A and B are shown apart, each in its own frame.
Chain A
């Protein structure tokens, strides 16, 4: 129990350091003293704009997206009792991203600023519900992953179709950005539209976390210990759908964070699914803030998309986890 507090405290400190570091590092070279002054609400208006309107919101957006994906991944792994479950791998992010793109394509987002997050959440929830139903009828991990692969391929195909039919280069670039994932140019205003959904998801998942421990024993034993299986499943599905949808609404599809963060944390919390959620959120957030710093300082002519960066690092780690798996445990 003591170890658990240490892990959480350490991760909170790391998160804060990462976000502060993200404020000091950027494509525009600004002396650290100017940023420090702006942090203390002093300094020039220019420094203020760079810090409060560009760097800090971007760092917070990256953190929130990473945290949501990290926690969703941990919760899905607990529900499916499978360390390879993750919103990216199982196609949940892709579905959310597709729904958001469709909303943009048909101009629905012009009706209200809430349409985009709602569309992303609708996509994420549809995919999560489909997976939860499939998981009930198939006991095989391979089948579940294959359904995820099929879901990803299908959404990729529809996305390709939409890109093909894009009316002009601007909407093409807009949609491409969306499917590659990025937190560039996100302001506090954008965060405000995703945050309520993420918070609702957080509440659902925190309420469901103890039940995830019981599921370790299998559904029959969990039920015999007094867990209302159906209600618990709805709670986890709603929680991951809301959090992943919120993350996609803010940044587009970003994969592998939900896979890697819980995998790293698991040994430190004695493999308890319930204790995995909060630290996975902090680690996911920190990882994505760090990845975003890399994206910004990389000397590329066009800024690399955050989702591309996450995939470049995440995919090899995914393979490593699969290879490392022996028997049913990680």
Chain B
């Protein structure tokens, strides 16, 4: 049982408070969706939790070990991260791109052992990329590319995956397929923290929702408990109609 636990974390950037004392936890077997409008501090919260930006106060631990004091490579073995800007500076082929996820295990030598290759193959298989393995990434569609990135994260064999708006540029079909992949990862014992803006998808897939507004977490609970018209109005400024299985946006508040 792995757990990413964040307590009282806060962040300042250029003298401005971006993040105010926030607490949350993500355990294995749990798909947590982080919701909030643009500029609410979601990316900063994630990056501070992983030690990628310096937190002003607070701690983040993975299985009780302080993330910020861990050697980077050890932290990378426990948490896989998909940043918001998913760049690929060179048109590598799919297999080589996915293999990059094994760096926390191979280190600077970069020599892939049989075990590493097996994890890469498994990630390719899980993300349905076997037929594309030798194709260059600049010759893939947006949906295929999204699968390459998630396969890269899977190949690390980390217990927890953190993804920043992974479905942002995907059409509904691919966004749904992407969330299915994350769901199966969670069913197999992993933990996931996903930032997204699609409330319907969040309602459908999340075990728990974290709501962020103006740099602080304002609610933490199951979709049934926290996904309410009032909260949507408070956080996003939109009027929504919600029943047990569906959600629709009715209008925007002035």
Contacts and interface: CB of A to CB of B under 8 A. Distances in A.
Interface of A: 81-82, 207, 209-211, 213-218, 220-221, 223-228, 266, 270-274, 327-329
Nearest to A82: B89
Given A221-B82, A226-B73, A270-B96, A81 B103 contact: no
Contact of B90 (A220, A221, A224, A271): A271
A226 B72 contact: yes
Nearest to A271: B90
Contact of A207 (B71, B92, B100, B108): B108
Contact of B110 (A210, A226, A266, A328): A210
A82 B75 CA distance: 29
Contacts of B89: 81-82, 215-218, 328
Contact of A211 (B74, B108, B138): B108
12 contacts: A207-B108, A213-B96, A213-B110, A220-B83, A221-B82, A223-B52, A224-B50, A224-B83, A225-B104, A226-B75, A227-B72, A270-B92
B136 A214 contact: no
B103 A210 contact: yes
A224 B103 contact: no
Interface in B154-202: 156
B81 A271 contact: no
Given A210-B108, A225-B103, A226-B104, A216 B90 contact: yes
B52 A225 contact: no
A223 B75 CA distance: 10
Given A81-B89, A210-B109, A220 B104 contact: no
Please give me the 8 A-B residue pairs with the lowest Cβ-Cβ distance, nearest first. A226-B76, A226-B73, A81-B89, A224-B81, A210-B110, A218-B87, A220-B83, A271-B90
A218 B79 CA distance: 17
Interface string B73-107: 11111011111011111111100110011011011
B73 A220 contact: no
B52 A224 contact: yes
Most A CB within 10 A of own CB, among B85, B93, B96, B106: B96
A270 B93 contact: yes
A191 B141 CA distance: 51
A269 to B, nearest CB: 10
Most B CB within 10 A of own CB, among A81, A266, A271, A329: A271
Contacts of B81: 220-221, 224
A188 B136 CA distance: 45
B242 to A, nearest CB: 34
B22 interface: no
Most B CB within 10 A of own CB, among A220, A266, A270: A220
A228 B75 CA distance: 12
Most A CB within 10 A of own CB, among B74, B93, B108: B108
Nearest to B83: A220
Contacts of B106: 210
A228 B72 contact: yes
Contacts of A271: 90-93, 136
Contacts of B71: 226
B2 interface: no
